[in-house]
Chain A
């Protein structure tokens, strides 16, 4: 059933198009080949690379799982040693969560979002490339530690005190903390890109309520990353600092609390599950309508469900901690919220089934359809066992047993891996010259579906029969030997299914642009004809399934009859539209291929990894090179309003440069401030949490630094903001332009001074970070403010240099604005810190 909601207007641009227009686009968007491949920034290249790397990690972590299953095939088996097994399960979990699941869905976002939104690229192509390369280098080094026996063995959850220097000496835990902390930073970079991309690069007319569900899912996904990941970044900072310098955040002797880690980790860790699941659910919501050849039933309900899941997922982290001995009231609250989160999934499930029921013709069980049906079955069971473990009295039995292993694999493989395989088959034609084989797809599905259930269903029973998780062997008297043997057989069948897929991939996947643009008859924009420039022109959108509702659209777009069919500034561009209604606002000038972001990524990774093995000086050198490369990369941005305004078709003229709240750079900086804010909120939580547990560690007011120090620090911070405002006012008025760079530098120095005064006062008062958890938290405040202040100093130097070289003026001022945003935020955060550190101990 195709709705007849068609747009009677003609396309915005005339046809035929001027000669050479398409050739120019092709030349501008050309992908660098050969040895210059690392410089590529096109989202199709970067996205495919990202997805490919994530898939390689999936296969590698799967091989680790097979080794574990071989070891567990019979009780008392000795194929794998205890020590290696402990490394295997740590690496399996860590790799699957951090190197496969999150990167894979983020990769799909990078690869598919611009195509679905008919944008030529994401708004920050180099940031995307940076994130991908940093992840690849960091991930490969991290994973390879398993070959040298250097891998972490503290579990993917890394609970202290097991992971403190006392119980886990050696570099394994450091590899986890620095490696994963670093990969999280790369995920945040991707999230910023995706938020701004979905909100600002939609085609004209695609208001929020016409946005494809996958874009909604990615928007929620990215916002969840912004809120959740900082918590675990703070936790990894705490633990690494405790391991390296002995600041007692978690060790009881210094007034720390091991449960702080669990709160921070699961505040990230549970939303993480939905961070993985929501985009996959988004994929299903895209594929199901095409299978049924009918629009999605309950579009609005599904959007509400996605957003609702995002909110609820932050209110149930404690259900990983039911056995820690929390008070009953807390248990009841988190039990209720854990159940509530099942509801949005139920809505989506029945909406998908309802959509299938709308099919007018008999549904063809193609490979994507099979994987979707498999997903419905597996995920339903995983959801039900999830409700079971949300019940506290049952969870006390199931927790940390193989029941949970079974449950989480039903949720994650059912909820994410099966949709991903559906997506591989479904969207392969968008990025491959050939489709994947249907026959191979069916065999692969059959093996995976049967293998999965044989592998994991028995583990529910094994868990309740008393088999705990994370055991390298088990006693024969438990009576779970047969269940484990069956499970191992299933695991190999599952692996065989994946092997069939890999063979199919090798035989049929050829990166490039195929003849067949829309083999499944999809209704969304990624199935428009593609070129290296992505879409030939950016369509005017009037419905949720534009290709169904305007059959001529594909041809019109390919002829260049829609918006921006050319490259008016002579460089890479795409259209920025308003966040809600998607009205054209300006043409964004995108940066092209470059080595800078690649060098920045590789040296950032090198710096982190060298720090892990405590080779400090080369690590600092690498860090400096990375910062230098970032500056070189940013130097080429902020191109100014030079060639605008330009005509994009349909009589619409828009500028080619925009600053202030309408500009994409401003949006990205605001998202970054949210990231910093989440990090600081996690810090405030930690401060209060440790205080509730060990109030005796808090000093009496008499030994606190004098309040005058706080006043001085806050005055310096205020002066920093004042100096910056003065600089901006001067620029607005066009007066004292020569003073502008000096004001900017002065402001940054005042900011650093404000942070320094606070730090110095604590040191003078005799507070030492290794003395107690209180002192460690005091210095963490300075650390968090200090890192932002250093960033502001670098940005201020950069801005001043651009002022001196005449690259900042009344209109071309994005870099001045962004530095100002971060400076203001840092001043505010540091002032809050001073109030906390001086007022809180005096009033409690």
Chain B
């Protein structure tokens, strides 16, 4: 284990312990900034802990001073009433505290800037309302997938963030702060997971219609498992169910979706080459399973109103089931 990795995972473990100790709902959820499992998230969490403690101290100070003003007696009260106290507590104390905090914050910003170095690049493009994910290989080729990122644990990954339409924002609270995805610009974000796990992310900039249902998962796994996954993902689809493939084409799915290794090459909707091996359908709307695909095919417009996929209600129950089984088989 490299020193950097040790540092990362050590910090991350401490953070998860902190999160587990917090008796508050949602703090240890899959999309929680209290997890602090990535370098950037861990910095934010450290900062938060310091500011929370400082904030509580200041609230107590204000409370005590107010109580003294309302019900205090003698010297203490006269002290509160003086203009010197106003200057001390209202001017000099904030200036000192804020300056210290600011210097600390600048240090954190410098650390964040140093995160950027990485040999693994992933291009993420946000579209209304899903995520196009492209892995770039060393030989110049690339592999497209959707709504899910797999990353190796303990290694910094450089994300190149694009938008195809409106402004979106990439946010995996457990791993890193958010970064906007703006048409005409390319933003970067360093993502690093200290501990293996499945983390949830979501679009954080209101992007119209189904903004609330634009999620994704980040799966962090050990390097060997990651490499094996990338190898599988890179390969074309293995078609075990030619009848299903024919139905896919006949139903018109290929008009928008690609399945590498078949004739379907359209790039409008998410690439479905290995969709059966992913965690979710419809950018985090449903879990991947046979019944999940059936449900999506039948009622995706009510599950995720306004999404760009045309309705497929005309599909018979039997065909839906066959299509779902085919999609599930694409692992």
How far is A281 from B157 in the complex, measured between Cα atoms in Å?
48
| Closest beta carbon of chain A to B219's beta carbon, Å | 15
Q: Which residue of A lies closest to B110 (CB)?
A: A328
Whether A388 pairs with B51 at a CB distance below 8 angstroms is yes
Give 10 A-B contacts (CB < 8 Å), ordered by A residue.
A161-B165, A162-B206, A324-B180, A331-B109, A336-B102, A351-B86, A353-B80, A380-B59, A381-B59, A464-B33
> Which residues of the partner chain B approach A381 to less than 8 Å between Cβ atoms?
55, 59
Give the contact-size bracket for chain A: 35 or more
Question: Is the C-beta of B195 less than 8 angstroms from some C-beta in chain A?
Answer: no
Interface residues of B in 211-250 (CB under 8 A from A): 211-213, 215
Q: Which residue of B lies closest to A325 (CB)?
A: B187
Interface residues of A in 380-396 (CB under 8 A from B): 380-381, 384-385, 387-388, 391-396
Known contacts A324-B187, A478-B30; 4 further A-B pairs (Cβ under 8 A): A159-B205, A387-B51, A394-B51, A475-B200
Please choose the segment from A79-87, A629-637, A776-784 that sits at the chain B interface, where 4 or more of its residues have CB less than 8 A away.
A79-87
| Closest beta carbon of chain B to A476's beta carbon, Å | 10
Whether B24 pairs with A397 at a CB distance below 8 angstroms is no
The 4 closest A-B pairs by CB, nearest first: A396-B177, A466-B31, A252-B184, A465-B26
B212's contact among A336, A385, A474, by CB below 8 Å, is which? Answer: A474
| Closest beta carbon of chain B to A538's beta carbon, Å | 32
> Which residues of the partner chain A approach B306 to less than 8 Å between Cβ atoms?
82-83
Question: Is the C-beta of B319 less than 8 angstroms from some C-beta in chain A?
Answer: no
Question: Is the C-beta of A462 less than 8 angstroms from some C-beta in chain B?
Answer: yes
Whether A477 pairs with B200 at a CB distance below 8 angstroms is yes
Question: Is the C-beta of B207 less than 8 angstroms from some C-beta in chain A?
Answer: yes
How far is A475 from B30 in the complex, measured between Cα atoms in Å?
11
Interface residues of A in 466-500 (CB under 8 A from B): 466-475, 477-483
Whether B24 pairs with A472 at a CB distance below 8 angstroms is no
How far is A479 from B33 in the complex, measured between Cα atoms in Å?
13
Whether B209 pairs with A82 at a CB distance below 8 angstroms is yes
Whether B180 pairs with A323 at a CB distance below 8 angstroms is yes
A339's contact among B25, B68, B78, B98, by CB below 8 Å, is which? Answer: B98
Interface residues of B in 145-204 (CB under 8 A from A): 165-167, 169, 171, 173-174, 176-180, 182-185, 187-188, 200, 202-204
Whether B30 pairs with A353 at a CB distance below 8 angstroms is no
A350's contact among B89, B98, B185, by CB below 8 Å, is which? Answer: B89
Whether B182 pairs with A356 at a CB distance below 8 angstroms is no
B1-38 interface mask toward A, CB cutoff 8 Å, 1 = contact, 0 = none? 00000000000000000000000111111111110000
| Closest beta carbon of chain B to A84's beta carbon, Å | 11
Question: Is the C-beta of A343 less than 8 angstroms from some C-beta in chain B?
Answer: yes
Q: Count of A-B contacts with CB under 8 A?
A: 276
Question: Is the C-beta of A620 less than 8 angstroms from some C-beta in chain B?
Answer: no
Q: Which residue of A lies closest to B201 (CB)?
A: A466
Interface residues of A in 428-484 (CB under 8 A from B): 461-462, 464-475, 477-483
CB within 8 Å for A323 and B177 given contacts A332-B109, A357-B77: yes
How far is A392 from B44 in the complex, measured between Cα atoms in Å?
9
Whether A346 pairs with B81 at a CB distance below 8 angstroms is no
> Which residues of the partner chain A approach B180 to less than 8 Å between Cβ atoms?
323-325
Chain A residues in the interface with B (C-beta under 8 A): 81-83, 86, 153-155, 159, 161-162, 167-168, 252, 257-259, 297-298, 301, 323-325, 328, 331-332, 335-336, 339-340, 342-343, 346-351, 353-358, 363, 373, 376-377, 380-381, 384-385, 387-388, 391-397, 399-401, 461-462, 464-475, 477-483
> Which residues of the partner chain B approach A387 to less than 8 Å between Cβ atoms?
51, 55, 98, 101
> Which residues of the partner chain A approach B29 to less than 8 Å between Cβ atoms?
465-466, 477-480
| Closest beta carbon of chain A to B158's beta carbon, Å | 14
Q: Which residue of B lies closest to A161 (CB)?
A: B166
CB within 8 Å for A384 and B55 given contacts A393-B47, A477-B30, A480-B25: yes
Question: Is the C-beta of B305 less than 8 angstroms from some C-beta in chain A?
Answer: yes
How far is A464 from B28 in the complex, measured between Cα atoms in Å?
10
> Which residues of the partner chain B approach A81 to less than 8 Å between Cβ atoms?
305
Question: Is the C-beta of B95 less than 8 angstroms from some C-beta in chain A?
Answer: yes
> Which residues of the partner chain A approach B83 to less than 8 Å between Cβ atoms?
297-298, 301, 354
Question: Is the C-beta of B252 less than 8 angstroms from some C-beta in chain A?
Answer: no
> Which residues of the partner chain B approach A335 to less than 8 Å between Cβ atoms?
102, 105
| Closest beta carbon of chain A to B164's beta carbon, Å | 11
Question: Is the C-beta of B69 less than 8 angstroms from some C-beta in chain A?
Answer: yes
